[in-house]
Amino acid sequence: MSVNRDILITEVALRDGSHAINHQYTVEQVVNVARALDEANVPYIEVTHGDGLAGSSLQYGLSRTDEMELIEAAVSVCKQAKIAVLLLPGIGTIKHLNAAAKLGVGMARIGTHVTEADVSAQHIARSKELGLETIGFLMMSHMASPNKIVEQAKLMESYGADAVYIFDSAGAMLPKEVAERIRALKQSVGIDVGFHGHNNLSLAMANTLAAIEEGATRIDGSVRCLGAGAGNTQTEVLIAVLERMGICTGVDLYKMMDLAEDIVAPILEVPQEITKNSLVLGYAGVYSSFRLHAERAAKKFGIDSRDILIELGKRKVVGGQEDMIIDIAAEISKRNSRGGNQFAF
């Protein structure tokens, strides 16, 4: 049964939320969450390692369960929702995309750094050849001007993308900045425009509403705020807000509330909240998935994880450069040991 929707919601807890639980999803958890989301009439459900297809590695974090098993399990229990996969060129390959397509996914989301859309050409083209709905992501969008973002979005559009997203990967953007970028895209491309927010500055909802007001029609959310950093725009809250605004998503609010409370909450080791480290992610403009990496490095070297995150922001380190976290932690540790207590008189 088709549903008329003003806004298309993609639920990302089974992908972005993987960061928050150290990529430890089990088949049973994915089945339970995906089935409940499908029954709530969520149109798209993203399922992969937090860093996309083939992300399971020492650098990005090892998955407890092979992502292809998780994808296959999610596909098997969904009657109306399309299962989506994330692919970051340089991590995932055409081979991984082909394998996911054979399992029955309906959407591929191809993400690049905001200034590197050109590396997505073959992946977007192959996704379209496979008959998949194909989305282009411009990640870390706070690091580029609206004009640069338009330039990069047009590349993705020329490769065949059905939509292009502004990705506030660091949760660093302000509503005005989101509005400027979405407005520029709406004026310049002929495909759908979407937004993916993070809540590190407690602005995910405000930024999402700013995007919608400027014409974004595809929105990402994570149920119970289960995502990297302080999480994403909280899906069940977003559904309620949009209903208050008279905007249709076709998603069942009560079922989303029950799913959040009864199925997703028990998966979280601790509730998602804006901790000092997730706040620093947004403040410094650092990739949201870096939080747990920085916390582990800080513990290893006996330093403050905030110092690592601030330095990462100063150096404009982006996703794919996780190996620099240890290097920076070691540098800070050496500097501290040479200089002693920086606050001593």
| Alpha-helical segments (H) within the chain | 17-20, 27-39, 67-77, 94-102, 121-129, 146-159, 175-188, 204-213, 235-244, 253-259, 276-284, 290-301, 305-314, 323-339
159 carries a ligand binding annotation:
no
Is 113 annotated in a binding site? The answer is: no
Say how far apart CA 339 and CA 327 lie, in whole Å: 18
Helical pair 67-77 and 94-102, crossing angle rounded to 10 deg: 30
CA distances from 83 to 59, 132, 170, 221 (A): 26, 10, 25, 15
Catalytic residue of the set 19, 49, 113, 142: 19
Distance CA 49, CA 29 (A): 14
Amino acid identity of residue 51, one-letter, is: D
Per-residue tokens: 205: 């909802």
**Per-residue tokens: 274:** 């804006």
Fill in the DSSP letter of residue 80: S
123 part of the active site: no
DSSP helix/strand/coil, 117: helix
337 is in an annotated binding site: no
Q: CB–CB of 45/81 below 8 Å?
A: yes
Q: Bin 234: left if φ > 0, else alpha if -120 < ψ < 50, else beta.
A: beta
User: Could you tell me the two tokens for 243?
Assistant: 């209903």
Q: Beta strand pairing status for 8-11 and 218-221?
A: parallel
Give the three-class secondary structure for 327: helix
44 annotated ligand-binding residue: no
Residue 16 assigned ligand-binding role = yes
196 appears as a binding residue in the annotation:
yes
Scored b (16 or more CB within 10 A) or e, 150-177 reads bebbbbbbebbbbbbbbbbbbbbbebeb
Which residues fall in the annotated binding site for substrate?
A: 15-16, 169, 196, 287
Where in the sequence numbering do the catalytic residues fall?
19
| Binding-site residue set for Mn(2+) | 16, 196, 198
Task: Write out the binding residues.
Answer: 15-16, 169, 196, 198, 287
